[in-house]
Structure 1
Amino acid sequence: MLKRLQIFALFLLTTLAFAQKPDLKKITISGKIFEKGTTLPLEYATVVFQDAKNPEKLNGGVTDMEGNFKFEVPSGTYNVRFEYISFKTIEFKNKTYNTNTDFGKIYLEADIAQLAAVEVIAERSTVEIKLDKKVYNVGKDMMVKGGTVSDVLDNVPSVTVDPEGTVALRGNENVRILIDGKPSGLAGINIADALKMLPADAVEKVEVITNPSARYDAEGGGGIINIVLRKGKAQGLNGSFVGTIGDPETYGLNSSINFRSEKFNLFSNIGYNYRTSLGNSSTDSYYTSATANPNSIFLEERRTNERLNKGYNSNFGIELFLDKSTSWTNSLTIQNGRGENPDNVFFYNYDANRNPTFTRNRLNNQNSKDFTFEYATNFTKNFKKEDHKLTVDMAFSQNRERDNSTIYDQIIGDPNVLTERTLNPENQQRNLFQTDYVLPIGKDARFEAGYRGNFQKNITDFEIDSLDVSGNWVRNDIYSNLLEYKEYVNAFYMQYGSKIDKFSYFLGVRFEDSNIEVNSISSNDYNTKKYNNFFPTATVNYEFSESSNISLSYSKRINRPRGRFLNPFSSYSSRINIFRGNPDLNPAYTNAFDLGYLKRWKKVTFNTSAYVNLTDDSFQFIRRESGLFVEGVPVIESTPINLATEIRAGFEFNLNYSPYKWWKLNANFNLFRNETKGDYSYINSSDELVVQNFDNTATSWFSRISSKINLPYNIDWQANAFYMAPQTNAQGKTLSMTSINLAFSKDVLKDKGTIALNVSDLLNSRKRRSEVNLPTVISSSEFQWRQRQINLSFTYRFNKKKNDRENQKRSDDGGGDEFMG
């Protein structure tokens, strides 16, 4: 269809050219048109010569397979346009042409906004590598069909998700996660759990920003991950349905339906998911403390989990086109989930000679409920000048979580059973107000300014009760706590960027005023922290050529402690290994430097960067004796503290390679070195002062490679492999981890449907293994959050066309670079 339209355009333009007055001098117009960032020609690109005095008179032509154009026009004054569908138009206005003119090479840049309007939902999965960020278009990624957002992130270059769901960027867990460019109620109170609830099919793309500009929150010393949800953009009624079944038991049905007219755009994403995740863990401990029970010198802890999560998520929205330059969008998001997690633990105790003494069983029958409600509104005003615009955003959300459990604890053979229960209601309210203004200055300069107010309040009421002999529940005040957390952050920013020939720069500053309250009401401990900071950012780029760039960037970042990091007690899954938050944690500050280089060839895109992060008062988890004992065994608690300084430096590269039209490769490698300096002291169970030196230098690396091959009979095959190398820390080390994913897909029903089969963790090897060496205990552990998963999904599209740009003579793994972030 595209070729037919452009051939018709060629015929029309040629006819118009012959219709000119015969007495005018004819001149020859020639040149070549290529895609910016590659050396690939654009076939059927249009060249339009519009008479400046009589706009109805048109001349011109289109390019051939090699991007060449050549035609004759009468001499005169013209407005000249170089156009191609989904690419930005280049225009020269009111120019006089009296002689033969060769325009040489013209480079057109892909227009992401137009591209989205044409393609609705891109069916391809690509990694667009840019100097300021990497954009992972989820598209037709077979690996994540039927999965969650955690599965999506685990396929993104530079990003890792450990078996517990913790997200890290370049190995740094201090990362800020946004949804549609802003903090969202969808993230709830626990971001890791929220990502496991949100279906992968709701995600359009993921943006990885390692060194954000002043426009973004200063939160996140490791950078920002922005998850962009799908919003339909095509004319008329269209949509898709995705059904999934899997083993362990998994069911899901998700839909994306859109209706767009000239006056409004209705969009929705609705889904229901039922997921079972089987997990397990084991810990072997040797207690060296003289106060340890001689019957419990050696302890083996074995744990099995059968997690069940089920629930629905829905997002409805309407975008009103008030006029040609003004739009108003309103959306409503509702998420409701339930979970079950019977956690069964056996503790096998041995004496000093490894003779078994007794076995304890602990069954934690956990149930959870989660409800999120969010209303968001956006107003956008585009002014006459291109890129001159004003946006206003507001969002109001509430999140309620109820996490309760009943615990049965007994020594095997002993009729006495200790029965306990935990009650853990959590409530969060968040209000967001934001406005951004962009003002282009001249041809290649831009000024931006804006405000963001982020106000949230969290209340966590953690209670543990024990069942006494009379059948009454008695509160355990040692582990119970009511915590109130308030965070009010007002931020202002401005930044300016310009481009001079091949050199460009972008300078900005952000001011954030923070008012934080951490109130442990049960212990009558109130903490108020008020501070304000300036966060400068700077980026300079130099363009060696259309396909080669280098950049240097700097930003100052902050990491505020939240949630379980602050709660004096928020976990009771084990009586001898507990997690305790620290209400007195201070924010950590990071100075981030990044040097990047980007090079494109016809079939290869290569991006590499070296980075250094200097952090003061960094968070570190320490393990220590709590002073409590269970059956003579010291209770070990893990807690975060501010530990002096951390220096993180690394090197990474990303490589996109298409050796053949039917084969695409993507590789990511990251080598990093982490150095910490600091001391920590505490009093152990023997009333001795223990001083721990946390000076430690650890070097590690991880690598991911993805291969996609188009097989005969329109079958696609995709394989991902991931390896995380060992890493040492001040109290032990984390061992290596390997995982492999496979997927196959085939289009059916004349490309309206797609069947996909994927296997996550093919070798069942995705396990976190670690070793801990403390003065009183030496332990090794292995943890697997989810065992191998197999999913079969079917996607049906109506009134949609699969992306046909893959069939054009151009690479779909590149991506233009932008001199402004």
Structure 2
Amino acid sequence: MQPKLIFKTTLLLLLLFPLLSFAQRSYKLSGKVVDNSGGIPLEYATITLIDETGEKTNQGGITNFDGEFNFDVTEGTYTIKVEYISFEPKIYKNRHIDKKTNMGTVVLQMSSANLDEVVVTAETTQVDVRLDKKIYNIGKDLTTQGSTISDALNNVPSVNVDVEGGISLRGNENVRILINGKPSAMAGFGSTDVFQQLPADAIERVEVITSPSARYDAEGTAGILNIILKKEKTLGFNGSISANVGYPEQYGLSANLNLRTDKFNIFNTTGVYLRKSPGNAYFNNVYKQSTGIDKIIEDREYDRQYKGIYTNIGMEYFLTESSSITGSFYTRFGDDKDVTENANTQYLTDASQRKNFREEIEKEKDQSYQASLNYTNSFNDEGHKFTADFQYSYDKEKRPTTIEENLVYPTNQLIAKERINEKETQNEFLIQADYVLPMGDAQFEAGYRGNFEKKTTDYLLDTLNLNNNIFELNERLSNTFIYHENVNAIYTQYGNKFGNFSFLAGLRLEHTQLKGDLERFTEDNQSLEEELGVAFKTNFDKNYLGLFPTLNFIYELDENQNISLGYNRRINRPRGWFINPNPSRSSRTNIFQGNPDLDPAYSSTFDLGYLKQWEKLTLTGSVYYQHETDSFERVVMDTGKETSDGQKIIRTMPINLSTEERIGAEFSVIYNPKKWLRLNGSFNIFNFDKEGIYDSVDYSAKSTSWFARFSSKVTLPGSVDWQTNAFYRGPQKNSQTESDGIVSLDLAFSKEIIKNKATLAFNISDVLNSRKRNSTTETATYWQESEFQWRERQFSLSLIYRFNQPKNQRQRGQNNNGGFDDGDGGF
């Protein structure tokens, strides 16, 4: 070959080499990774491809929640390594990728050397950090064995369940509670009472969403708690049965059953329960300016009984390899009874003048139904999918109540007798559609959600005429209150990842209609205002249109360390008993009354978080700031009215204050130093500053409070597990009320009596019987000291029997993922 030709050929090859390299082809590599015990999918298993020539950098990916992987690989010959923590890796040598390749199902064998460590991990609460939430896999929390969902939530960092069952997030009660990502009849449509009845072992995990992305409902200024219920993925028929007994009287029996094949998955949870919950309260009311009685002491005893049956049955049918339809039906029947005894002593200059005894017997029959339908179509294995949901919920409650009050000193005589017939029905429709489009490391989402709710409350009050001993209808207070809440929302969001940096930005548009209509037996509105004591707008039609932006960032400092930053705007719509104008009647002198004239509150929140993991230690922390307008505040006021025997009537009512600023910090630690010792703790401190004037009274207040939680789990000789949970909430105050700190302690012991099949647990809730709220309230006209205990100390013994499933479900993921979630529980 001539030298000139050789030179031209060499030059041409040198010029084309980069283009040839750039044009090197890539092919899809896919498959699924499962364990060898029932084929459980392994989420976040790693697939690494090592170039045998050493010329290319390593390539690879991770599995999703279903154990599946799908990513691009440059053409070449590789050694493929499939790994998952505590499992023996699988290695495939000399594999040539020159076309689209499916590796099929890769089955990993658990490492015998790490088996005990896997059990330890499964028995402790773990945290998984996502761009817009933290996921707490409850694990084997002994103190919730035989207990309720409320008890389980009280063990989740950032969450507090108060003595009345009220749930708060970071000390803020304006929290939205979802079941499997949606409002649900199981959550009582915003009420938390049902959580004190349903068993905790139905929970798989709890998602704490303090910086919700745009896919979530904008409701709840504190954030969202999303409770995910168990649904087994193991093939075949499997499940568990649990039974519990306790004191005060408590009985429960529940079953979680699952049948899964390649074509369908049938799941069912059914339970019956009977639970008594005695409580007590004390009120010392001192009137500053009184011409008659100047002090009243009330001693109350509560005897509550809950009994009922519930079931949730559903079926997921796989239409094709990429699409499925899931239908489920939930129902609950409750038959409850609440007896309140109130001993009332009236004083004048510290001398006892009168003693009354008041008994209120409230019965409640509750029927709840919910039907759900979900359709999912995955266009490919990369997460490109469309989902559609329809849900209908119906709830009906009948609450017949009798109230009788007698004078017992200085004479015996009947003072008053009333009969209340209250019936409440609620219908709710939910329509939802979501579209997800992955684009490499990026992801685009869009969706619509419509939520349409109607609640009707029929309230009839009959009062005994003491002159003729005949019950007469109180036409001034008897009424029918119809409340509509309709919300239409559309959202879009986009996320991407650049190296160690991920972000998720979204915008949500919501239109809210709040409509109320009070139908009465009399058209005399003035008499209603006189009876209620406030000029309520009981008939209204309010419309609100709002934009709710969200922005979340995560920067991964290394594999086990990241920093997150989030911003969101949210709304808090008044609901339930905050709206209903009918006054409570458990006391003639201390009543609670809803305010149908409440407007929604709006908040803007910034959150800066940090996560660091070591081999045996996980540390999370965050600081946050929230600014809220038209915030809700419960205030106490003198009605200016008196009972027939001259006692002043005091009212507690929610109002809209102008602003509230809240700043706080929280930290949590999970530490597993030994196989036999697991520790975790959390600490939350916050300061709020409220400003607002209502009815010429300044209700501004500043306060700093904190709460801390500690849990330890020790394995004793004989394989007995011992768990201790301690909680302390610091003192709190607002413009009128100061509350003392609350300390509580729970103990639990567990023993496996049949290997991998049966476990016996003993639980003591509130060992010190100290879960009480002590507070003082002062207004311009009176001073009140009170103590309230919702539920006294309880003991329970539970037995759990499992069949065709392992004792401990392994965690399916690492705890530092900063990417996008799969939308489970989304919108």
Match among 466, 469, 479 for residue 481 of structure 1: 479
SS of the aligned residue for 2:718 comes to: helix
The answer for the alignment partner of 1:455 in structure 2 is 452
Is residue 80–residue 93 contact of structure 2 (8 Å, CA) maintained in 1?
A: yes
Q: CA 1:705–1:487 in structure 2 vs 1: closer, same or farther (change >3 Å)?
A: same
Q: CA 1:2–1:632 in structure 2 vs 1: closer, same or farther (change >3 Å)?
A: closer
Q: CA 1:59–1:272 in structure 2 vs 1: closer, same or farther (change >3 Å)?
A: same
Is residue 394–residue 426 contact of structure 2 (8 Å, CA) maintained in 1?
A: yes
Is residue 691–residue 700 contact of structure 2 (8 Å, CA) maintained in 1?
A: yes
Is residue 447–residue 496 contact of structure 1 (8 Å, CA) maintained in 2?
A: yes
Residue 790 in 1 paired to residue 787 in 2? Answer: no
The gaps in structure 2 that reach 5 residues or longer are 1-33, 40-50, 64-68, 109-117, 526-537
1:163-312 equivalences in 2 (<5 Å):
163-189=163-189, 191-291=191-291, 293=292, 296-312=293-309
**TM-score (ref. length: structure 1):** 0.85
Which residue type is aligned with residue 302 of structure 1?
A: D
Residue 314 in 1 paired to residue 315 in 2? Answer: no
Q: Distance in 2 between matches of 1:819 and 1:336?
A: 39
The answer for the alignment partner of 1:643 in structure 2 is 657
Alignment RMSD: 3.3
The answer for the alignment partner of 1:712 in structure 2 is 717
Shift of 1:432: 0.3
Shift of 1:186: 2.1
Residue 529 in 1 paired to residue 530 in 2? Answer: no
Match among 505, 512, 515 for residue 513 of structure 2: 515
Q: Distance in 1 between matches of 2:568 and 2:86?
A: 43
Shift of 1:657: 1.0
Residue 593 in 1 paired to residue 592 in 2? Answer: no
Shift of 1:188: 2.6
Q: CA 1:68–1:129 in structure 2 vs 1: closer, same or farther (change >3 Å)?
A: closer
Is residue 426–residue 459 contact of structure 1 (8 Å, CA) maintained in 2?
A: yes
Q: Distance in 2 between matches of 1:84 and 1:783?
A: 58
Shift of 1:643: 0.8
Is residue 215–residue 447 contact of structure 2 (8 Å, CA) maintained in 1?
A: yes
SS of the aligned residue for 1:186 comes to: helix
Which residue type is aligned with residue 219 of structure 2?
A: E
Q: C-alpha offsets along residues 446-483 of structure 1, whole Å, 9 cap, x if unaligned? A: 00000000001001122221122434321234543321
SS of the aligned residue for 1:217 comes to: coil
Is residue 180–residue 228 contact of structure 1 (8 Å, CA) maintained in 2?
A: yes
Residue 368 in 1 paired to residue 364 in 2? Answer: yes
Which residue type is aligned with residue 667 of structure 2?
A: F
Residue 777 in 1 paired to residue 782 in 2? Answer: yes
The gaps in structure 1 that reach 5 residues or longer are 7-24, 38-45, 88-118, 682-690
Is residue 571–residue 601 contact of structure 2 (8 Å, CA) maintained in 1?
A: yes
Which residue type is aligned with residue 458 of structure 1?
A: K
The answer for the alignment partner of 1:328 in structure 2 is 325
Q: Distance in 2 between matches of 1:434 and 1:411?
A: 57
Q: C-alpha offsets along residues 167-197 of structure 1, whole Å, 9 cap, x if unaligned? A: 0000000000011101112223551212223
Is residue 30–residue 68 contact of structure 1 (8 Å, CA) maintained in 2?
A: no
Shift of 1:520: 2.0
Shift of 1:641: 0.8
Q: Distance in 2 between matches of 1:496 and 1:348?
A: 64
1:542-557 equivalences in 2 (<5 Å):
542-557=555-570
Q: 135-144 or 357-366: which moved more? A: 135-144
**TM-score (ref. length: structure 2):** 0.84
Q: Distance in 1 between matches of 2:573 and 2:72?
A: 57
The answer for the alignment partner of 1:672 in structure 2 is 686
Q: Distance in 2 between matches of 1:348 and 1:646?
A: 39
Residue 634 in 1 paired to residue 630 in 2? Answer: no
The answer for the alignment partner of 1:426 in structure 2 is 424
Is residue 27–residue 72 contact of structure 1 (8 Å, CA) maintained in 2?
A: no
SS of the aligned residue for 1:188 comes to: helix
Q: CA 1:201–1:70 in structure 2 vs 1: closer, same or farther (change >3 Å)?
A: closer
Q: CA 1:281–1:61 in structure 2 vs 1: closer, same or farther (change >3 Å)?
A: closer
How many residue pairs align between the two structures? 741
SS of the aligned residue for 1:400 comes to: strand
1:126-165 equivalences in 2 (<5 Å):
126-131=125-130, 132-165=132-165
Shift of 1:231: 1.7
Is residue 765–residue 795 contact of structure 2 (8 Å, CA) maintained in 1?
A: yes
Which residue type is aligned with residue 447 of structure 1?
A: F
Q: Distance in 1 between matches of 2:103 and 2:744?
A: 48
Q: Distance in 2 between matches of 1:65 and 1:127?
A: 15
Q: CA 1:153–1:34 in structure 2 vs 1: closer, same or farther (change >3 Å)?
A: farther
Which residue type is aligned with residue 592 of structure 2?
A: F
Which residue type is aligned with residue 357 of structure 2?
A: N
Shift of 1:31: 12
SS of the aligned residue for 1:667 comes to: strand
Percent sequence identity is 42
Q: CA 1:406–1:27 in structure 2 vs 1: closer, same or farther (change >3 Å)?
A: same
Q: Distance in 2 between matches of 1:537 and 1:650?
A: 20
Q: 205-214 or 795-804: which moved more? A: 795-804
Which residue type is aligned with residue 270 of structure 2?
A: I
Which residue type is aligned with residue 198 of structure 1?
A: L
Q: CA 1:36–1:717 in structure 2 vs 1: closer, same or farther (change >3 Å)?
A: farther
Q: C-alpha offsets along residues 472-518 of structure 1, whole Å, 9 cap, x if unaligned? A: 32123454332110011110000000011121211100001111101
The answer for the alignment partner of 2:584 in structure 1 is 571
Shift of 1:74: 5.5
The answer for the alignment partner of 2:817 in structure 1 is 816
Which residue type is aligned with residue 784 of structure 1?
A: Q
Shift of 1:627: 2.2
Q: C-alpha offsets along residues 675-698 of structure 1, whole Å, 9 cap, x if unaligned? A: 0011122xxxxxxxxx42222110
Q: Distance in 2 between matches of 1:735 and 1:219?
A: 30
The answer for the alignment partner of 1:384 in structure 2 is 380
The answer for the alignment partner of 2:495 in structure 1 is 497
Q: 261-270 or 560-569: which moved more? A: 560-569
Q: C-alpha offsets along residues 337-361 of structure 1, whole Å, 9 cap, x if unaligned? A: 0111110000111111x11111111
Q: CA 1:29–1:713 in structure 2 vs 1: closer, same or farther (change >3 Å)?
A: farther
Q: Distance in 2 between matches of 1:227 and 1:775?
A: 43
Shift of 1:3: 8.5
Q: Distance in 2 between matches of 1:83 and 1:654?
A: 40
Is residue 79–residue 95 contact of structure 2 (8 Å, CA) maintained in 1?
A: no
Is residue 127–residue 134 contact of structure 1 (8 Å, CA) maintained in 2?
A: no
